[in-house]
Every structure is written in C-alpha cells, then in structure tokens.
Structure 1
Amino acid sequence: MRLADQAAVRAAAAAGPVVALFVLDDHRPAVASAPEPWRQGWAMGAAQRWWLHHALASLDADLRKRGGRLVLRRGRSTEIVPAIAADVGAEAVHCLGHIEPWARDDEEAVAARVKLEIHEGVLLVRPESVRTGTGGRYRIFTPWWRRMREQMPPARPAPAPAKMDFVADVTSDRLEDLKLLPTNPDWSGGFTVWQPGEAGAAARLEDFAGRAAAYDEARNMPSVEGTSRLSPHLAMGDISVATIWHAIADAVPVSAEPYLRELGWRDFAANILDLFPDHGEVPGREVFSKLAFLDDPEGLRAWQQGRTGYPIVDAGMRQLWAIGWMHNRVRMITASFLCKHLLIDWRHGERWFWDCLVDADLASNSLGWQWVMGSGVDSSPFNRVFAPVGQSAKFDAAAYIREWVPELRHVSESRIHAPWESGGVKGYPPPIIRHEAARARALEAYAAAR
C-alpha cells in the first residue's frame, strides 16, 4: 500500500508503463495439516478490511497525482493477474514476496503463467538467510536475533519513483463494490483514531521518533502512549520496515535497540511461519494437542465482550473492539486469561484477534498466542499464568481502565484493580472465576496432558 521504498513499484516503473493492480482475494485456505474445526482459512478479518478500504483510497490518490490510478478487482488472483497481464501485453508482473502459505502458493501459480519478478520489502531479511553455524534454521529468538543482527542495518529506504507511466483503459471495479466497510451496524466509529495509508504511516513514525527514547520503559505501561502504534501500517505495507528501522536508529541512536529488537521479533515470527506453515492452527509442542480445553461459550463471550470482572482484561477487550488495536502488554494478559484462567482453546482467541485487529498478521498473531499459551517452539512456560490484578497494579493501568471501562471511572486507585475485594461496583460484573482456582485448574489440566 505504498510507493516509497517499494522495490516492485520501482522495478516496474523503470521497465515501462505500469498497471497498478490490487486483487481482493479471499481464497486464503488453511494448510492441509490443520485439524478440524480450525481448517477454515484466513480470509482478511473485518477490522483489517476497514483499514484496507482507506489504504486503497490513499494509494489511488497518490497514483492519480502521478497521472495513473489503482485498478481494483475481486476474485482469485491466480486467475486475474495473468489474465490482465495477457490483456495488456505485460512483459512481467512485479510484486513483493510474502511469507504466508497461501501467498507462496499463489506466487507459484502465477509464475507458471507469466514472468513473475518477486522483490524483497516485507521483512528485514529473508527468513532462510539466517542460519546456524552448521547451516540449520533457528527456532529460538535470542540466538536468531544475534545472527540476524549481523545482516543489519537494512539498506536505506529508496524514495518513490520520480516518474511513472501508466497503461490506460484498463477497467477497474469501484472501491465501494469491494464492500470492505461495515454496515448495519457500522461498528467502526472509534477507528477514526487511525489514518490508513502512506501519509498516515509517515505521520505516525514522526510522532513516535520523538518519543522513542522512552520506549523501553514506557512500552509496558497501558496508560501512556509508549508504543509506536505502527503495527497496522506495517501489516498492510503502508510503510516499509526498513524505513522505520532507520528513522528510529537515527532519532535515538543510543537507545534504539529495544525497539529494533521488537522489529526483529516480527521477522522471527515470519521465520517460524516459514518453518511451520500450520503454526496458526497446530501447536508447536505435541503435549498441547492433548490438553483438555473447556467448551465454554458463555466464558468466551464474556471475554470477547470485556465482561470478565477483571478490569485490566475487560479494558483490553473493549479497546480492541472500539479501535481495532490493543496495547501489547494487555494482549499478553488477555490471552493468558482466555487460555489459562478460562481454559479455552487459544485458537478461539487467535481467531477473535484476527477478525478484530487492524494489525492482524498470521505470523505475529500465531506466534503471540502460542508464546502465551506455552505451545510455541519458543514460548513462555505454561505455568506462567499472568495474575491480572498483579499485572494491572504493577504496570499502573488505572487510567487505562478508566478510559475503557466507564463503570469504574470513579473508582479509587486503591480499588480499581480488584473492585470486588471492597464490595464491588454497581453495574460491573464480579470475577467470572477467581485467580487462585483458575490457576490450579489450568496446572492440573496441563499435568494430565503431560
């Protein structure tokens, strides 16, 4: 969704007149090894479709400034891309290479019918380029990061092409016909905090660069603006990861490492998905295939709606629904609560996040859930059960809770993390389960599975 630091755009523009094509392709199947009922595919979620609508509009506006426009189609990209290439007599199709299993399959299918030039630009490095001393692949982040760091920094970002020529008279669907925006009801009122597209990403990066020196300390504090909030722009490609790397490294050269390391985690997630294409559906450790999760639709609904009775959990889930994003520390707390306190299969949470997050990304989302669950190849141990009250107090979440749980807006600092301990608050539910009992039940289930 960008023109700057976009190698496919740059190569196509240099080769001759361009057709700038976007195909909305919802054929994103699960891999064959995915078990039922999780073999349901990965069509883009509702929140990210909202983002896509506005990012497409932004990209089209940028192309029109250069005398062109964005051509839109809906259907199977493996059929539409070669067909348009044949219609206009294109010598080649240029794209950025993606890591998702369906993307790899589609690239192979298109390449069988037309010359396909695949360029780098989604990640910092190609996952298979980071190797151990014996030529193997890393499954643990820390040694992977040390070796990957040897390839850094990435190349400086390249500007958008100074000149582009376009093929005229290629028919296009209307953006409205893609039906990406929610209706009946329109739940996206809170999404106005975002500005999808290349200009919005640049503004967000400039804002964060001014705060990046405090990132390592502030990133865990939900009540302050400590994170970059660049993740949806990265997920949709409004901005390149190399652009972000250099902007932050230049802005705070002494204290950039903690944030650069988080960019590294994004690449590491892609590395794991490349090694295990079914990582979104299959636990990385066999024991978790035997864990006896509970069938608890009421508990799942209470978690989704932010009605668990734990203020930090409910604040996070309501923030997610309101703006399509959740603070990173709170993501870990809410995820732990679902799969350990409620003992509900982590894939229910992963799917809910997939539909609700504007920064939904298969590699990062699956890595995050399997890390919290303890089922990933590199993850937190299962017996690390986040204590919501302790986490809320430790990271000073009172203001965050008041923002997203209005029933608790007037509750004092001393009561807000566990309001039930002093008689409860009218209109706010009591805890759906007590922490001590939930932790004991989870550990018992894990021991039985082992």
Structure 2
Amino acid sequence: MNKPTIVLIRQDLRLHDHPALYHASKEGPVIPLYIHDESLSQPGEARKWWLHRNLEHYQKSLEAIGGCLLFDEGKLEEVLPKWVKKTEAAAVYWNRLYDPDTFERDKKLAEELAADGIKVKTFEGTLLLPPWKITKADGAPYKVYTSYYKALRKAEIPKPVPTLKSMSVPEIVDMHMQLADLRLLPEISWYKIMEKVWDPGEKAALKRMKRFSNRVQDYDEGRDYPAAGIHSTLSPYLSVGAVSVRSLFHHFTEKIEKQTEPFIKQLIWRDFSYSVLMHFPQSPEEPLHEKFKAFQWEENAAHWESWIKGRTGYPIVDAGMRELWATGFMHNRVRMIAASFLSKHLLIPWQKGADWFMDTLIDADTANNSMGWQWVAGSGFDSSPYFRIFNPTLQSEKFDGEGEYIRMWVPELKDMPSKYIHSPSAAPDDVLEEAGVKLGVNYPHPVVDHKAARQRALDRFEKIK
C-alpha cells in the first residue's frame, strides 16, 4: 500500500473545494490532521467556541466518507515532524494561510520537510487568488481597492475542485487525543444564545448560501439595514472555511451580474485585505499612514467600559455591542458605526477596538478586521477620510428608522416612540416617563456630546494633517 499523505486541516473545514484533501485522496491513503497551535496567535473566546463546533461537524463529515480527523496540539513545526515519522508519511499537503507569521513559519517548515525527503504541496484554499497574483505592472501591491477590484475582475478565478465523496485512511495506532482535549469550549456556558443563532458546519454554510441566493438581488440596497436580514451571514463560515470563497464566487457569478456584483465586491474586498496584510504585515498593529503614529489618543477606562458593555447612551452603538456580546456577530453597517464611535467620538485607539472584535467575533479574521478598523479610523490605505465622522444618531435614523434593531438589543427602550428612540436624551420628560425610561438609571445619558466630540476629533486630526 502507498505510504500515506498527511493533510493539515486548518481554516478549511469542508469537503467541497478542498484542494489539499482532494488531491491527496487521489494519490492514496490520507491522514487528515488538525494541530491546535496557539504559539503564533490565540483565537478569541467566541472564535474558540465556533471552531470547536465546526470541528465536531467536520469530524463527522470525514467519517461519513470513510475518513477520520486526528487531533494534536503544540507548535506545528515541532508536532508535525513527529507525525510524519510516526505514520511514515511520504508527503504533507496543506491549503495556504496568509497571515505573515503563519506564512513564514509554513514556508520554513516546508523547506525542512523537503530536506528530509518529504514531498510538500501547498494549495490555494483560502482566497480567490493568492496575494501575489494581483499586483501593479511593476509588481507593487495595490493600495486602492477600486484598482485592485478591477484588476482581479479581469483575472480568471479557478473553478472549485469537486466535493470529496470517499477517502481511504491507514490504520493509526496512537489516537490518544480527542477534540475535547483541545479545551476550546469555555468552562462557563456563556455561549447559549450563540448556540441558538448559529448552526455550525459545512451543510449549514451551504444552506445559508442557497437561502441568500434567493434575496441577493436585494443585497445592494438592503445590506445597510440591520433589521432587514438582507446581509449574507456567511462570514462566520468563511472564517473557518466551512464554505469556499471560490465556490461562492462561481455560484453567484453564474447569476445575473447586475444583481450579484455588490456581493462579489465584498468577496474581493476580503482578498484585498489579505493582499494588504501580506505586503504590509504591520497593519494589524500600526497605522498604514505614517502621520497617524503621532495622533493623540485618549485612555479613558470608563468610556471603554461603556462601549464594550453597550452603555454609551447612543442606542445604535449600544445595540451593536450587545448583539456582538450575545451572538458573536454584528451587522456590518453597525460595526462601522460602533468602530467610528470608539475611535473618533471617544478617541480610544482603534487597535484596542480591533483586539476586542478579535476576541468576541466568531468571524474574527485578522486581515478583514485590521483593514476595517484602519478604514474607519482614517489611518489605512483607501480609508474613510479622517474628517468623516459618523453621527450615530443620524446613522440610526437612516438605517433603523423604526428602531426595530434597537428594540431587539436594547429592550429598555422598546416602548420609546420611533421619533425619539434614536436619541432618548433628546426626548421630553413625559415621553420618557411613558416609555419607562429613566436616563441615568435604566438607560445611560450619552457618555459624550456628539458635537463636542466631533470637534475634539477634528482638532486632533488637524494637528497631524
């Protein structure tokens, strides 16, 4: 019998369009191996729960086609060679990951394995195209999304590889570690609401894709309205690879382009974020525009606490932060409003907000997250201008006119009339009394005045312009 191939399982928990697993299975027996390595970056608590649930489903999917999923933990560069030796594997395959530390570690590991006579093959299983494929004529990376989008749209996106239907595995003697041994599930069951909101696994991801297909024609106009339910909710599945981005791309480009292009642009934005991360690895921690290194931020513990707990006195911000805490997710328009509020109204460093999102989002993704925060703060490439400061009340009135989203997540305001629900502090006393709202008691006064906070931010920006 052929010697086995170890396939590293990482952010690709699916059977459809899994290049590494598909090609390895065509060549002989396969050992799918998940090594939990927290030496480079530690996933947030919400992400750990989501990862555990998706690994559970993936393990069952592999078993259903004659395979298995093995688990281990530790530094990949130390653990993997032991598995190669123990199983007498002839090859190691994996789908590439592109956060800079992981990519460099993988590259070095591939060289060491090859030097020991082990065949190593890596595949594109994360993005539409590898980050080095879409560059300017001189090889420089794009810094403007529109230019990147136009260039990628002219490129050919490979078709997904077929869904794996069967596989063979060698007999593995030492299977001492189980999924539970990785200790991904929190000891305290704070994730009960998330359990009700999210169905993990590849089948659930494909089901959501099909459901979104029926309303994608409304996406362009409806995606900004958090109560409308027009957004795809596919990002959590993309983050663990339960759905393939190439499969999404080809599924939706087969439809009428006019209807699906706004969604396709979001998929390409994800590739653009990874291109920026790959070429500018400092982007999760440092502003991409040098002048922002001199920006004077604030350190206000009370303001930070009000933001993370959804107690700012700005209902749309509070609704978003409470949705995040309860479900591990936040609507994208509200993410922008909440992020803008932290970095421009409260002047708390965007990096701190980015870290909070990485810890609490189940779709936490370093490239997308840092790109989004730098865009809002005005410090990134092709970002929102520094002087664009969202008025959270106007944003709320525009995108949650009747207050449906606010009522869902800020129940103490559920009886406020729509006219005043976006800014309770502006409501007359009799309106507040009738709605049972006591400012400073069961709902806070605004932590900052919008007009004054906006001017303070503009003054700070002026100093570094």
Give the TM-score category using the shorter length: over 0.9
Q: Report the counterpart of residue 167 of structure 1 in structure 2.
A: 170
Q: Which runs of 5+ in 2 are unaligned?
A: 1-12, 114-118
Q: Which residue of 2 aligns with 1:224?
A: 228
Q: Partners of 2:195 and 2:256 in 1: how far apart? A: 30
- The equivalences for 1:292-303 within 5 A come to 292-303=296-307
1:8-55 Cα offsets, whole Å, 9 max, x none, are 001110121111100110011xxxxxxxxxxxxx31111111111011
Spell out the pairing of 1:265-276 with structure 2 (5 A cutoff): 265-276=269-280
1:441 counterpart residue number = 456
Structure 2 partner of 1:39 = none
Contact kept in structure 2, 1:95 and 1:118, CA below 8 Å: yes
- The residue number in structure 2 matching 1:406 is 411
Q: Quick one: which amino acid aligns to residue 25 of structure 1?
A: D
Q: Secondary structure at the match of 2:162?
A: coil
| Alpha-carbon distance change, 277 to 419 in structure 1, aligned in 2, over 3 angstroms | same
Task: Compute the displacement of 1:252 (Å).
Answer: 4.1
SS in 2 for 1:122: coil
Aligned to 1:117, the other structure's residue is in SS state strand
1:250 partner letter: E
Paired residue secondary structure (2:71): strand
Q: How far did residue 3 of structure 1 move?
A: 1.4
d(CA) in 1 for partners of 2:203, 2:330: 22
TM-score, structure 2 normalization = 0.91
Alignment of 1:121-270 (within 5 A): 121-152=125-156, 154-169=157-172, 170-184=174-188, 186-270=190-274
After alignment, is 186-195 or 401-410 more displaced? 186-195
Between the aligned partners of 2:192 and 2:370, the Cα distance in structure 1 is 25
* Aligned-partner Cα distance in 2 for 1:300–1:329: 21
Structure 1 letter corresponding to 2:304: L
Deviations 1:216-265 (A, max 9, x none): 00000111111100001011100110111122223444311111011110
2:4 is aligned to: none
Q: Distance in 2 between matches of 1:215 and 1:315?
A: 22
State the match for 1:431 in structure 2. 446
Take 1:209 and 1:185, find their aligned partners in 2: how far apart are those partners? 34
For residue 430 of structure 1, report the CA deviation from its aligned partner. 0.9
Once the two structures are TM-superposed, the CA of residue 109 in structure 1 deviates from its matched residue by 3.0
1: CA distance, partners of 2:193 / 2:418: 30
Match of 1:62 in 2: 61
Kept after mapping to 1: 8 A contact 2:336/2:376: yes
Aligned-pair distance for 1:162? 3.0
SS of residue in 2 equivalent to 1:284? coil
Is the CA contact 1:82–1:113 (under 8 Å) kept in the aligned structure 2? no
Contact 2:209–2:232 (CA<8 Å) still a contact in 1?
yes
Change (3 A) 1:446 1:415: same
* 8 A Cα contact 1:110 1:116, kept in partner: no
Aligned to 2:104: 105
Residue 322 of structure 1 aligns with which residue? 326
Amino acid at match of 1:401: I
Q: Is this contact kept in 2: 1:198–1:239, CA < 8 A?
A: yes
Please name the residue that 1:47 is paired with.
46
Q: Does 1:384 align with 2:366?
A: no
Cα offsets for 1:295-334 (capped at 9, x unmatched): 1111111100000000000000000001000000000000
Q: Work out whether residues 66 and 166 of structure 2, in 8 Å CA contact, stay in contact via their aligned partners in 1.
A: no
CA distances 1:153-186 after superposition (whole Å, capped 9, x unpaired):
x233222223311022242411111111122353
* Contact 2:37/2:75, CA 8 A, preserved across alignment: yes
Q: Could you tell which deviates more after superposition, 265-274 or 115-124?
A: 115-124
Shift of 1:87: 1.2
Cα distance, 1:357 vs structure 2: 0.4
One-letter amino acid matched to 1:435:
H
Which segment drifts farther, 114-123 or 224-233? 114-123
Contact 2:289 2:381 in 1 (8 A): yes
2:291 match = 287
Contact 1:232 1:359 in 2 (8 A): yes
C-alpha deviations, 1:266-317, integer Å up to 9, x for none? 0000010011111100110111111111111111111000000000000000
Alpha-carbon separation, structure 1, partners of 2:139 and 2:160: 30
> Structure 1's 283 and 363: CA in aligned 2 closer, same or farther, altered over 3 A?
same
Task: State the Cα distance separating 1:448 from its structure 2 match.
Answer: 2.2
CA RMSD of aligned residues (A): 1.3
CA–CA distance in structure 1, aligned partners of residues 447 and 176 of structure 2: 51
% same residue: 40
Higher Cα Rg, which structure: 2
Matched, 1:19 2:31: yes
Amino acid of the residue matched to residue 385 of structure 1? I
Secondary structure of the residue aligned to 1:19 is strand
Letter in 2 for 1:274: M
Q: How many residues align?
A: 436
d(CA) in 2 for partners of 1:403, 1:293: 33
Query: Which among 120, 123, 136 is matched to residue 119 of structure 1?
Result: 123
The amino acid of 2:275's aligned partner reads N
* Equivalent AA in structure 2 for residue 96 of structure 1: N
Which residue type is aligned with residue 295 of structure 1? Answer: E
Moved more, 177-186 or 285-294: 177-186
Residue identity opposite 1:140 in structure 2: V
Aligned partners of 2:294, 2:104: CA distance in 1, in Å? 31
